[in-house]
Amino acid sequence: MTQEDKLIKVDRNSIMFKFWKYFSGFAAIILIALWLLQIVFLNNFYESMKIREVTKIGNYLRSEYNSPDFEYQILNYSQKKGMNIEVIDEEGHLIYPFNWVEALFKPKVMDEQTFNEFFSSIINGKEKYRVFVVKFPNLENPTLVYAGYLGLTDDVKYYITIKTSLDPVDSTIDILKKMLIIVSILSLGVSVVLSYFMSKRLSKPLVDMSKTAKKLGSGNYDISFRKGDYTEIDDLADTLNYATTELTKTIEMRKDLIANVSHDLKTPLTVIKSYGEMIRDISGNNEEKRNEHIETIIRESDNLTTLVNDLLDLSKMESNLEEINFIPVDLKNTTAKIVNRFEFQKEKDGYVFNLDFKGDCIVLGDEKKLEQVIYNLINNAINYSKAEKIITIKIEEKDNKVRFDCIDKGIGIKEDELEDIWERFYRVRDNHTRPSVGTGLGLYIVKNILELHNFEYGVNSQLGKGSDFYFIADTVK
Ligand code: ADP
């Protein structure tokens, strides 16, 4: 794509285009509404306003018919509103405004046909008044007429008519139209341009973010998502920055793991191979030596099995294949069972296990997974012990809670590493008493299982003195 193509091509799905489209649309809708109100409805609005006014005056005057200043009221409204107000009798003679000629000769101001047209529905009692538009042949504009019944005086019925001209609003509309055309073109132009810049400004942080994310995608982890524009984008930037840090950590740790795992796989395999060769070539006939060599082969195979198992557990956990199966678990029994699995270490390396159990100690959990937690904790206590090979396992029930402690007198953990040890693949450097032991997954697996159970957990440790790994669960009765 050339630079020119890029400039011309508009991405209709982009936030910027949509912002721009909606802003412009919004301005257009407002203008259309304005046009409709001003031009289409102005005529109707004007007419209904006049009808309302004339009806109000007519009804008021009818109600004032018997009052002494009735005539004054008529005069007042005629002048104030510029309306033609007349009172006629039932034969169409003009009674008010008073005029000598008319008083003497009593000419009819309304012929019978017009009178019937105006008042027939009022005479036969269907309604008290009517408001309608009449086009008088000698007048240019249509006239709005109010015709109503006033009352009976000396056996004569009197009626009132109010006439007002409906001036055409066309000339006003013409002026408005011209103004509106100018206003519309101007405001549409301004809103299109303004919304273009606004949308560009609004979408900029997202565009920047996407550029940064692309860099991340192409493997550049040394980036940071910029903040400081909008709260929502700031939150997103925080999340993405966090994700980047985590990603970087994971990648670092994976690199470490591959290095560790290859080393951890190679070492036992080399040992197994060389001991196998030794048996074949040297110790084959010497039972004592041979058994010793076979023992080494078995131990190294066990190490390999642990490593492979840890990796399997990890991948199962990370793909969430495992569901938790809650049943009441007797922590004392489970722990005793696991401690038995370390019988070999006890005899061979002289480890001492102190079991200190108090109460029933039944908790709700997944037995297999809790076994794994306890196994990993004891295994670490053994791996990170020094000369003092005493491991105390305390399980105590108190206030409806069970607390499990695995306490060793080993190498301990530095305070600034207490949080990191729970991370996957994390291994404290420089302090491994047995460098080939462990994958850095044991505590990560422990943490995941305990969190799945919603158990509180943690570690208290002092460098050089030992560690106490614990978890706390609710009891089941
Ligand atoms: P590993 O397989 O290396 O033991 P873990 O996840 O079980 O991995 O433990 C992570 C790190 O935490 C270990 O490498 C070790 O440095 C430290 N650690 C774990 N348990 C203990 C302990 N009981 N005493 C001292 N350090 C420990």
Question: 420 C-alpha to center of ligand 1: Å?
Answer: 10
Lowest mean pLDDT among 85-99, 307-321, 400-414, 431-445: 431-445
pLDDT for 467: 97
pLDDT in tens, 257-277: 777 777 777 878 888 999 999
pLDDT for 321: 56
Burial of 205 (0-12, 13-18, 19+ CB in 10 A): buried
- Share the mean pLDDT of the chain: 85
Ligand 1 pocket test target in 413, 461, 469 with most atoms within 8 Å of CB: 413
| Angle at which helices 170-217 and 15-35 cross, to 10° | 170
pLDDT in tens, 165-184: 887 777 777 787 788 888 88
Q: What angle do CA 66, 130, 47 make, to 5 degrees?
A: 115
CATH number of the domain located at residue range(s) 42-165 in this protein: 3.30.450.20
pLDDT for 227: 83
Nearest ligand 1 atom, CA 444:
6
Let me know: does 180 contact 34? Beta carbons within 8 Å. yes
Confidence of residue 61 (pLDDT cuts 50, 70, 90): very high
Lowest mean pLDDT among 54-63, 278-287, 372-381, 401-410: 278-287
Ligand 1 pocket test target in 253, 342, 351, 384 with most atoms within 8 Å of CB: 384
Q: Residue 144 to residues 129, 141, 266: CA-CA distances in angstroms?
A: 13, 10, 107
Confidence of residue 434 (pLDDT cuts 50, 70, 90): very low
pLDDT for 33: 86
Q: Which residues are within 8 A (CB) of 196 and not within 5 positions of it... i.e. 6 or more apart?
A: 20
Confidence of residue 115 (pLDDT cuts 50, 70, 90): confident
pLDDT for 440: 79
Domain boundaries defined on the chain: 10-40+170-216, 42-165, 231-315, 322-474
Nearest ligand 1 atom, CA 443:
6
> Which protein residue has the closest C-alpha to ligand 1 atom 19?
380
In the predicted model, is pLDDT for residue 157 greater than 50? yes
Does pTM top 0.85 for this prediction?
no
Q: Which residues are within 8 A (CB) of 14 and not within 5 positions of it... i.e. 6 or more apart?
A: 203
In the predicted model, is pLDDT for residue 239 greater than 80? yes
Q: Is the dihedral of CA 6, 7, 11, 14 positive or negative?
A: positive
pLDDT for 438: 66
Mean pLDDT in residue range 290-303: 89
> Which protein residue has the closest C-alpha to ligand 1 atom 7?
442
Ligand 1 pocket test target in 443, 460, 463 with most atoms within 8 Å of CB: 443
pLDDT for 433: 46
Confidence of residue 474 (pLDDT cuts 50, 70, 90): very high
pLDDT in tens, 447-461: 989 998 999 999 999
Q: What DSSP line would sit under 356-399, residue for residue?
A: EEES--EEEE-HHHHHHHHHHHHHHHHHT--S--EEEEEEEEET
Q: Is the CB of 425 under 6 A from ligand 1?
A: no
pLDDT for 473: 96
Class of domain 231-315: mainly alpha
Q: Is the CB of 23 under 6 A from ligand 1?
A: no
pLDDT for 327: 94
Mean pLDDT in residue range 338-342: 90
pLDDT for 322: 64
CATH fold of 322-474 = Heat Shock Protein 90 (3.30.565)
Mean pLDDT in residue range 138-165: 90
